[in-house]
Every structure is written in C-alpha cells, then in structure tokens.
Amino acid sequence: MSAAQTLVSRLEALQCHFTWDLDFSRSLLLRCRDNLIDIGSENGNKWLGHIYNLRGFIQYKLGSNEDAQSFFNKATEAFSQIKNTDEGPWLVVNYGNLAWLHHHLGDQVESEAYLSKVNALNKKYPSPSQEELHPEIYAEKAYTLMTFNGDINLVAVYFQRAIEMQPDRVEWNSWHVLALLYASNYSSRSTGLEDDIFQKMRIAQEQDPENLYLAAHYLCQRAQRGENVKDEARELATKVLRSPVSSYSGLKSLLWFYKTYISDDEDIDLAEEALKNHPDERYLKRRAALCYEKRILFSKSPPTKSMIARAVSLHQEVIALYPDSSLMRKIHLATIYALSHDEQAKAERIYQELLKSDLELAGQQVLFNSYAKYLHFQKQNEKMSIQYHMKAAKIQHQSFSRKDSIKVLQKIRDKGRDRMCGEIRNFLANLQEP
C-alpha cells in the first residue's frame, strides 16, 4: 500500500464530520448555515465549538476551503476557552476535520500532523468502554445530526450513550431530553408526551435553570397538560427579552405559547417588543413575520389592511436577509398576497418566478404542493391543482409535501366525483415509493 493510500485509510478511520456520511443537498446546507448563524456566538454557549466545527464543514461542502479552515480554527479556540485548557478529547473531531481539510488542500504534511494529534488524544483519553466511542464524540455526533434534521431517534441514542459514560454533563442531558421531545412530536403514534420524558424534562430544567430554550419547551409541555403557567410565561418572556438575541433564547416556543394559551395577537405583541429592543436582528424579523402569517392565515377574525401590510413588509425584509434559503418565505409571501383581493397578481407573479427557477427536487416538491393549493383555493382551477399535486407526489423524495399531495389525491379519488378520478386512480396505483 502506498503512502498516499495509507494516509487516506487513516483519514477514513477518523471520527469527524468528513466521515459521518453527511452528504446533504446544497439547499439544506444553506438552510443549516443560516440556522447556525442565528444561534449567535455569545460567550457562555457550551456548544460554540461544535457550532464552529459544523459551520466549517458546511463551508467546505459549499466550496469555500478558506472559510472552512477559519471556522475549524475558531472551533479550536472556542473549545480552549470553554474548557479552560488547550487539550482534551473534545478536540478529536475538530482535529479530524482539520486533518481532512488539509488533505483536500494538498498539504499532506499538515494533515499528518493533525492525524498524530488525534492519535495522541485517543491514547491519552480513551473511551471508558472499548466497544463504544468516546462520550465527547457521541455528543458532537448527536448535536450534528440534530442540527441537520437527521434521525432524531438516533440523536437520542447517541446522547444517551454519552450520558451513561459521563453523567455529570448538564448540557448533554438537556439536549438529550429535547431530542426525546422532538422524537415524540414527530412520531406518527404520538398521543402526547409520555410521563417519563416529561419527568426527565422537569429534572433537566432544574439542573440547567439558565437554559431558557429548555425552560420554554418545558413550559409549553406543562400548559399542554392543563397547568396554568401564564404568569410564569410572562416572567420567562422578560428574561428572554433581556437576553442576547439567539434562536436558543426560547422565543420561538414562547411565541407559540402566547398565541395558543393567551390570545391571538399577544404573540405578535411579544415579537414586536423583541424587535423594538433589537430592530436590526434578522432572526427576530423572521419570527415576527411568521407570527403575522399565522394570524392572517389561521385566525377566525379577518386581518386588517395594516396587519397585512406589516406582514408583507416583514416577509420582504426576511427574504432579503436570508437570500440563500428563501423558498418557503417567498411561498409564504405569495400566500399572504393571495388572500388579498388587491394583490392576487403579485401572488401569481411570485409563483411563476419560482416555477421557472432552478430548484432541487425537494424544493420543487414543496413548491408544487403549495401551488396546487393556491390553484384550488384561490383560482378554483381544480384540473391544474390536481396536476400539480401529481407533480409533487411523483418526485422520489419522502416529505410532508409529498404525503399531503398524495392524501389530497386519495380524497378526490375516493369521492369519485371529479372527471379526473380515473387518471388519479391509475396514477396512485402506479406511484412508486422513494
């Protein structure tokens, strides 16, 4: 075996982002990059090293090696500051990433140097169990999959394994509970959060009282169980508003709580108050835009013209602030326009521009499903609506949009009233699963 082959085999044996089979579409990479930026980089975030590692890997996948190296180096620095030491097993993934990056850059000497550092760390800090990865690696792997919307059940397993070997890590326990919560929410058999997960949430919140993100989720779960926690929600909102802006601040869950348990418009008031304190923060504009959209689409009382105007303005700003991940926001804006008799032409214009754009298959699926609904509800064009539901269902990608379009087609088929029922029946009979 040549020296080059030996180097590659050693690289492939590493535990890092380059070996974790993270082969995602460009649109997902861009969306994850935006989400990571919205977390922020405030001191005290115990996941900052992991965040920089992820951002470095994403930049590499997007073709920017220089930015990738910068973020990997920032990860090294962040771990050093968080851990208050320059060495530890938490650097195994980081050094593995740097070994791979230098290999791709053609700098084999530097790649070898980082491989040696990884080997030294593995010898000095072996896993407590020979059959398992080191708990630091399990935790970072779990966090990575969680960020990329990977298998949430696997995320929970990885966190559980890390905790079993190192039970004193509060942040791992908090995120393990959140993973269990997400898994429960996404389960097709879910009838509510199980008692044992709820109790784990309670314990995690007591152990991690400064984690506002966890606190907001726990508050929502208590409300769903019938507890009156409105006063606590207002207290938590005050803390969130005083905290640095971050998608980990708990604001998203609080906005849902305000809309669900307090009133139709109080979530908007809370979002606007947050924006008043930080008028230039794009994450807050994004949250406010979604509050207005939900108010317009789902409230029983009709929206005012000023409310629609504010919703449109916020969506336009958010689209400009998230230029690389704006498909859904453009669809949301079109939906708002479609509900206004004066703006129907603008809705159609947005859809036509999107239909002509170069989208990946998953994006096309979302667009076809949304356009089909627009054609049905706003245009009363049943034939074209069915055709676009078929387009969405035909794409070999499992998603909510595909399931929704198939469900619509099945309902039309079962009613048997539409002239296209025969065509729909044949289409569904021959439809292949991804």
Helices 91-104/135-147 angle, 10° precision: 60
CATH of the domain at 88: 1.25.40.10
In this predicted structure, what is the pLDDT of residue 341? Answer: 76
Q: CA dihedral defined by 107, 108, 110, 115, rounded to 10 degrees?
A: 140
Instruction: Write down which residue in 126, 142, 167 finishes a domain.
Output: 126
In a domain, 210, yes or no: no
Query: For residue 305, what are the CA distances in angstroms to 24, 176, 312, 341, 343?
Result: 41, 44, 11, 11, 12
**pLDDT at residue 1, rounded to an integer:** 52
Nearest-angstrom CA–CA distance, 156 and 153: 5
Location of structure tokens 């704006």: 326
**pLDDT string in tens for the chain (434-residue length):** 556 668 899 999 999 999 999 988 899 999 999 999 999 987 678 999 999 999 999 999 999 999 999 999 999 999 999 999 999 999 999 999 999 999 999 999 999 999 999 999 999 999 988 889 999 999 999 999 999 888 899 999 999 999 999 999 999 999 999 999 999 887 655 556 789 999 999 999 999 999 999 999 999 999 999 999 999 999 999 999 999 999 999 999 999 999 999 988 999 999 999 999 999 999 999 999 999 999 999 888 888 889 999 999 999 999 999 999 999 999 999 999 998 878 889 999 999 999 999 999 999 999 999 999 999 999 999 999 999 999 999 999 889 999 999 999 999 999 988 789 999 999 999 998 87
Residue 166 falls inside a structural domain? no
Question: What backbone torsions phi and psi does residue 97 show, to the nearest 5 degrees?
Answer: -60, -45
Query: Is 0.85 surpassed by the pTM of this model?
Result: yes
Angle subtended by helix axes 3-12 and 108-124, to nearest 10: 50
Domain boundary among 74, 102, 126: 126
Cα-based distances in Å from 409 to 355, 365, 371: 21, 15, 15
In a domain, 105, yes or no: yes
Could you say which of 94, 126, 158 is where a domain stops? 126
Q: Which range of residues forms the domain containing residue 429?
A: 358-434
Q: What is the pLDDT of residue 434?
A: 73
Any domain includes 54: yes
Asked if residue 433 is part of any domain, the answer here is: yes
How many folded domains does the chain comprise?
A: 2
Does some domain include residue 394?
Answer: yes
**How confident is the model at residue 302, as a pLDDT?**
87
Residue 408 falls inside a structural domain: yes
**Looking at the domain assignment, is residue 7 inside a domain?**
yes
pLDDT number for residue 44: 73
